[in-house]
Structure formats: C-alpha cells, structure tokens
Amino acid sequence: MARIVVNADQGAQRIDKNVYGHFAEHLGRCIYEGIWVGEHSRIPNTRGIRNDVVEALRRIKVPVLRWPGGCFADEYHWRDGVGPRAERPSMINTHWGGVTENNQFGTHEFLDLCAMIGAEPYICGNVGSGTVQEMQQWVEYVTFDGASPMADLRRQNGRDEPWELPYFGVGNENWGCGGNMRPDYYADLYRRYQTYVRNLGGNRVSRIACGPNRDDYHWTEVLMREAGRYMDGLSLHYYTVPGPSRQARGSATDFGEEEWFTTLRKCLHMDELIRRHATIMDRYDPEKRVALLVDEWGTWYDVEPGTNPAFLYQQNTLRDALVAGLTLNIFNNHCDRVRMANIAQLVNVLQALILTDGAAMVTTPTYHVFDLYKPHQNAVLLPCVLESDRYDVDGQHIPQISVSASRDSSECIHLTLCNVDPHREADVRCELRGVAPREVMGSVLTAKDMRAHNTFQDPGRVAPVPFDAVSFNRERLAVTLPPMSVVALRAGR
Ligand code: AHR
C-alpha cells in the first residue's frame, strides 16, 4: 500500500510549460522525411512541412522547440539555409553519417514550423566553428524590425515582420562535439559571444549557456562562477542508456526485466543530477534567476537493426513511456529551478514521439505520456509527500511509484502517477488535503507486455484508455495502479 498526501490548498511555484519542450536536429530522418518533405511531395504538406506531424504536435501543445542541434549546431552556418532553396549550398553533416545536408530546411522553415504547431523557437547558435559576427547577424536577421543589412536580407527572402526569438543557446556540448573545450575557456567564450546576442526592437532573448554533461559538477561550478551573471539559463544533458557502453547500449525492443529495471533506475538518476547541479547554482544564484534547462534527455539504445547507425533510429516501448512519466514527474517536482526541458528527439531519432515511414506516421508511447501530462503546463505545483513500496530486482531497488501534482487555472487538480513494477498493482491511498473534489476522471497507459510498442501495422497497441480504478470520498482517493502503467487523474471541484 502506498500513501500520498497532496497539499492541494498550497503551492507557490508554477510548472513552466517549457518543461514539456522538444528538440529537432538535422540528424538522420528527424528534419528530412520526419518534418520536411518539400512542397512537391505526394505526402500532404503545408509549405513543405508534413500535415500529419503538425496535427499530432498541435494536439500535445508543444510549448518550445530547440533547433538545429545538437552537435549539428556547432557546424551549422545559418546563411546557407536562407534565400531561394534552389540556390542554397550543401554541406556535409559530419556528425551524423557524413550525409549531404542540402539546407532546404533553414531559419524560415523552422520558424514556420514553430508557428504552425504553436511553439516558441529556441535556436542554438554555433560557437564551435562559427564567428561572433555570424551569431550576431543571425539574431539581427530574425528579430530586427528596422532597416539593417540583415533585416533587409530577411525581407528580400520573403519575410517582412521580424519573428520573436525568446531563447538562444550559445553553443551545444562545447565540452565535447562543440569544440572539446575546457570550462574556463568556454566560460570566457560564452561571455564574449553572448554580448552580441542582443535584444533588438521589442524582442527579449534569454541567453542559454552550454552546461554540464551528466554529473560534471566542475563544469557547473566554473560556469556559474565565471559567467553566471551573464546567462539566463544553463543547460544539462543526460541520456538514459541501459547498457554498459556505446557499443552495447541495449536493444529498444528486445529486453527482459533486468534491463527494464536498469533503465528505470538510471532514468531516476535525473533527480540526483538536478539536485546536485542546483545546489551549486544556489550558491551563486540564490534567487534562482538562472534556469536549469535539461535541453537534451531521453533513452538512447542501439539503433534499429538494419538502419544507418549514425541515424539513431530506435523503436519506443512501454518502457519509454515509463521513462517519460518518471522524468516529467521529476522535472515538475523541481520546477523552482528546471524551467525548460527538451526530450531528444521529436521525430525518428532516439526517444521519439513520432515515427514515420514514407507517408505513414505513428505516435509512440512517449507521445501519449506528453499528451497525458499536458495539463501540468503552467499549472501550480502542489507539494506531495509520498510513501511508496519498493520494486526490487537482484538486491537493488527503486520506489514502486512516482507522482507529481498540480492545480490549473480553473482550480482542477492533476495527478500523474507511474507504477514501475511489472508484476504488482499498486494500491494508493491519496489525500487531497484541503480539497474535496466533485468528480475524478482519469486515463491509463499500459500493456500486458513491457516490450509493447506501436508499429505502422498496429499503431494503437499502446494508447491511453479511460481509467476507472479510482474512487473518492471527500478528500480521500483510493487508486489501484496496474503493473507498469502511467496514470493521469483530474480531480474537478
Ligand atoms: O541528440 C543526439 C546528440 O546527443 C546531440 O546532437 C548531442 O548534443 C548529444 O550528444
């Protein structure tokens, strides 16, 4: 029996909607095929962007989209991706398979996509191989409303009005693919580059510094000490990899209980990472002005057999749904510092929400978790106390359930719960302290098999269904979570 106390009449901090953000890189079939098919494609599209993908993304209310990378960002030169498409130069995408990048999807197409799906743009600039001038001019091109060389070029390329650009990343993984820099060196470069990421006209841009890889606390220490006052956000990257090495990350679909457990245990490591990085940030920024952005996270397995190893295409099972549910609960519960997160990646890459094959499209179990959790966007976090049983495997254990709760602007309470145990139901006694709901409704995502996933032939195998294993009496709820499930409850007053 688990016990949860939700302090439903309290709550001070808002869960930033951007915690439900996404990431699309020029990598494998994410941008090309997954999003961009071109205006002359037989696949239904609007100005070259797939209609089916746009429709699916609108449904989950994508708040923010990070682009163009990833490692690709530090070798991307934005001028190659504007102007008449037939005249755009090509480049080699050296990070991701050495394929030719023809730059058909560039700044205008990205910002058009953001407008179509209702997302705010988060552009990541090139520090590794780009110049300060190039970065400065990109911001001017996108945001300046007066007469200037870059704003005039934008007009010449068909866009009169500037766009709003609320987030700009100053490099990506500059400790690795973005230039193999040491933290002191990057901190200085960050200070220099960000100076020229200017607020032009009415645009107000938040500057995001490249943050640590996983548990590199030294990186956070140096960045906060040397450059904290020049940044609005610091990014953190952490991937859940069940296997022991890059050569053996584990299969996306062919796994047993041991790997199920390892994956979920490793995903829960996110909580410790946030706590420890946030502790360092608190020392330099006790007011929590600087946000921690987990702008790459998700599962990373061996690629689907028979696919290009550099394209990072993997299937997505019920296990990925649990990873998403657990991780999003962690982010919600740290909403005082974590104010954006971007799962990697949107389509056809790593823990994707959407998979495509030619004209066919399927949504993954991870997609459904984002759909179930969307009421948390911009809602007030409700502090919870959880007493959970343990889920034990081979002498190791993790909590059997996870929870987060929020109150939306219409005073409805939202609870999202995960039961990670593949064998046992979880009986939960939940007290909504201070609130007696008039109705409680829910949805559940589960399956009989932990490896269950959606395919183009069977797209609805893992999909939410109404949840009725809940009863309530005034402030008390009794809930039975099925084994390996994600449940979203809405308690209305
Ligand atoms: O998401 C795939 C890659 O993972 C990104 O390009 C890079 O930033 C990270 O290492």
- Per the DSSP assignment, residues forming a β-bridge with 64 are 120
pLDDT of residue 143: 98
Long-range contacts of 214-217 (CB under 8 A, 24+ apart): 214/238, 214/273, 215/273, 215/276, 216/175, 217/276, 217/277, 217/280
Q: Is 60 left (phi over 0), alpha (psi -120 to 50) or beta?
A: alpha
Burial tier of 283 (Cβ tally within 10 Å: 0-12, 13-18, 19+)? exposed
| Rg over CA atoms, the chain | 22
Give the residues surrounding ligand 1 with Cβ less than 6 Å away: 25, 69-71, 172-173, 296, 344-345, 350
Q: For residue 444, count other CB atoms closer than 10 A to its CB.
A: 21
Tokens of 356: 């495509």
Q: Distance between CA 197 and CA 125 in Å, rounded?
A: 10
Q: Which residues contact 211 (CB under 8 A, 6 or more apart)?
A: 219, 220, 223, 234, 235, 236, 237, 277, 292, 293
Residue from 43, 82, 313 nearest 35 by CA: 43
Q: Which residues contact 102 (CB under 8 A, 6 or more apart)?
A: 88, 90
**Tokens 């219409």, residue located:** 410
Q: Best mutation site among 26, 29, 31, 71 for ligand 1, i.e. most ligand atoms within 8 A of its Cβ? A: 71
Which residue minimizes the CA distance to atom 8 of ligand 1? 70
**Tokens 């107000």, residue located:** 204
- Read off the amino acid at residue 397: H
Tokens of 85: 């498409």
- Measured from the Cα of 312, ligand 1's closest atom is 2
Q: Best mutation site among 75, 177, 300 for ligand 1, i.e. most ligand atoms within 8 A of its Cβ? A: 177
Which residue minimizes the CA distance to atom 7 of ligand 1? 70
- Measured from the Cα of 178, ligand 1's closest atom is 8
Task: Indicate which residue of 296, 304, 411, 425 is catalytic.
Answer: 296
- Name the strand (E) or helix (H) holding 109: helix 107-117
Which residue minimizes the CA distance to atom 9 of ligand 1? 70
Whole-number Cα distances in Å, 432 to 60, 385, 386, 388? 27, 11, 12, 17
Going from the Cα of 344 to the center of ligand 1, the distance in angstroms, rounded, reads 8
pLDDT of residue 38: 98
Pairing of strands 384-387, 2-7: antiparallel
Among this protein's residues, is 173 annotated catalytic? yes
Burial tier of 85 (Cβ tally within 10 Å: 0-12, 13-18, 19+)? middle
Q: How many helices and strands in the chain, by DSSP H and E?
A: 9, 27
Task: Indicate which residue of 75, 101, 140, 173 is catalytic.
Answer: 173
Among this protein's residues, is 296 annotated catalytic? yes
Cα dihedral 14, 10, 289, 273 in deg (nearest 10):
-80
pTM of the model: 0.98
- Measured from the Cα of 173, ligand 1's closest atom is 8
- 3-class DSSP assignment, residue 279: helix
User: Per residue of the chain (493 residues), what is the pLDDT tens digit?
Assistant: 899 999 999 999 999 999 999 999 999 999 999 999 999 999 999 999 999 999 999 999 999 999 999 999 999 999 999 999 999 999 999 999 999 999 999 999 999 999 999 999 999 999 999 999 999 999 999 999 999 999 999 999 999 999 999 999 999 999 999 999 999 999 999 999 999 999 999 999 999 999 999 999 999 999 999 999 999 999 999 999 999 999 999 999 999 999 999 999 999 999 999 999 999 999 999 999 999 999 999 999 999 999 999 999 999 999 999 999 999 999 999 999 999 999 999 999 999 999 999 999 999 999 999 999 999 999 999 999 999 999 999 999 999 999 999 999 999 999 999 999 999 999 999 999 999 999 999 999 999 999 999 999 999 999 999 999 999 999 999 999 999 999 999 999 8
Please confirm whether the linkage preceding 437 is cis (ω < 30° from 0): no
pLDDT of residue 185: 98
Q: Which parts of 102-211 are beta strand (E)? A: 120-125, 167-170, 206-209
Q: Best mutation site among 27, 29, 96, 173 for ligand 1, i.e. most ligand atoms within 8 A of its Cβ? A: 173
Q: DSSP label at 128? A: S
